[in-house]
Structure 1
Amino acid sequence: MCADHDTLENLLAGNERHVESLPEDYFADVQDGQHPDVVAICCSDSRVPQERMWGVDAPGTVFTPSNIGNQVWDDDEGDRIVDGGVLYPIHHADTEAVAVVGHTGCGAVTAAYQLATGGDQPGPRGVDKWVELLVPVVEEALESDLIDADADDETVINQLVEYNVDAQARFLRESDDVPEDVAVYGFVYDFQGVYGNEHGRTYLVNVDGETRPDEIADLLPDEYETTTDSLLY
């Protein structure tokens, strides 16, 4: 084992601060089960704070599966199925909303774009699997009229991020495993100022299949009108 355990000590110290900060009754309402309001499938990028982005302080509010590329599916002997991390709270914890959360500058989308355009797999195999699952989405996007294929790579990749969020949301809405009354939302978490100058804003790009910003804005209170935007429409 490594003799230097600075990271381990930082984790233990951080948990100590966490424990000391909690009110005595912090877990009182979730001792016997959980009923999260939403399952938010996020990219596992360390720059994407899964609960903090929603201002969540209470436990049991957000169910937070994640993987590279915020993918809602998995491969089961050649078939794409909805990932169990998304389905569990819907079927077993009364969750009635899903948020698919991509983010600007996504490395998984970048790797899939490079692979789709003749580049090499990033490796190792455990990473390649998830990148390969994104390649058909990227190929479909590049063949559509929504991506500016002549733009610089940064622009193309951020457009692909949003396209991927829409593709993941569509897969959920079309799956027989997701009840029709479950709401599906798509967001892009922007910490790079791509959509605007508010770093850390989750831009709402999809509401139950609606992707046009003006139409989404009409569904929201006026105070949230600027939180919907799109690089595609």
Structure 2
Amino acid sequence: MAERIKELLEGNREWVKKMNETFPDFFEQLSKGQNPQYLWIGCSDSRVPATEVTNHLPGSIFVHRNIANMVVHTDMNMLSVVYFAVKHLKIKHIIVCGHYGCGGVNAAITGDNYGFLNNWLSHIRNVGMLHKDELELITDPQKKSDRYVELNVQEQVKNLSMVSFIQDEWEQGEYPYIHGWVYSLEDGYIRDLKLTRNSTAPL
């Protein structure tokens, strides 16, 4: 166990060395403050790190992650992140990014009892209820899961567009833009679901 923890610290040292060799002033610039251009609302899944899958460096993407990339209006953690991003960092693009093979979505589909997680899963299951007719027509489990993931992103984009301070921003201008994407674990590519919304195209 101790060796595994040491791997992280050793990995950090190797990363610092690599960054210093590639970008000599990287840490100096990073220490002066952040100026991210994007807010990424993604899944907690360890296989979908925002900066890596978009080939960006630390400091370029402000990130909030939870199980199944949910935008829940009672989630003060998520709302605080979005508020800070929009009001203080002046971020102009918010990306809600789900991923195929999402464990949270698959757990919601099964309807099984997951104990403490049931409360969170109820929000994901609500998406399934909203699109029950469409999902029931899909008999292939994999295709049903994939479509559920897409519909979940769609609903979270909609939920985000209804947040009061997002609406306030839209009354003053066109930003922020809200985008809906899905990442594929099988090939590494991100798919734009063409759900982009802003003040001129509210959901």
TM over 0.5, shorter chain:
yes
Q: In structure 1, what is the equivalent of residue 72 of structure 2?
A: 73
Structure 1 ranges of 4+ moved more than 6 A: none
8 Å contact from structure 1 (residues 38, 98) kept in 2: yes
1:31 aligns with 2:31: yes
Q: In structure 2, what is the equivalent of residue 191 of structure 1?
A: 185
Q: Which amino acid aligns with 2:81?
A: G
| 3-state SS, counterpart of residue 41 of structure 1 | strand
Map 1:46-125 onto structure 2 (within 5 A).
46-57=46-57, 59-75=58-74, 83-115=79-111, 120-123=112-115, 125=116
Q: In structure 1, what is the equivalent of residue 41 of structure 2?
A: 41
How many Å separate the matches in 2 of 1:94 and 1:27? 23
How many Å separate the matches in 1 of 2:189 and 2:155? 21
- Alpha-carbon spacing, 1:130–1:149, altered in 2? closer, same or farther (3 Å): same
Q: Which amino acid aligns with 1:172?
A: L
**Structure 2 gap segments, 5+ residues each:** 199-203
Q: In structure 2, what is the equivalent of residue 10 of structure 1?
A: 7
- Alpha-carbon spacing, 1:106–1:168, altered in 2? closer, same or farther (3 Å): same
How many Å separate the matches in 2 of 1:11 and 1:140? 43
Q: In structure 1, what is the equivalent of residue 149 of structure 2?
A: 161
Q: Which amino acid aligns with 2:6?
A: E
- Alpha-carbon spacing, 1:152–1:106, altered in 2? closer, same or farther (3 Å): same
**Structure 1 gap segments, 5+ residues each:** 193-198, 211-233
| Bigger share in helix | 2
8 Å contact from structure 2 (residues 96, 179) kept in 1: yes
TM-aligned CA deviation for residue 32 of structure 1: 3.3
Q: Which amino acid aligns with 2:195?
A: V
Q: Which amino acid aligns with 2:165?
A: D
8 Å contact from structure 2 (residues 73, 159) kept in 1: no
How many Å separate the matches in 2 of 1:6 and 1:129? 36
Q: Percent identity?
A: 28
1:133 aligns with 2:123: yes
The alignment's C-alpha RMSD in Å is: 2.1
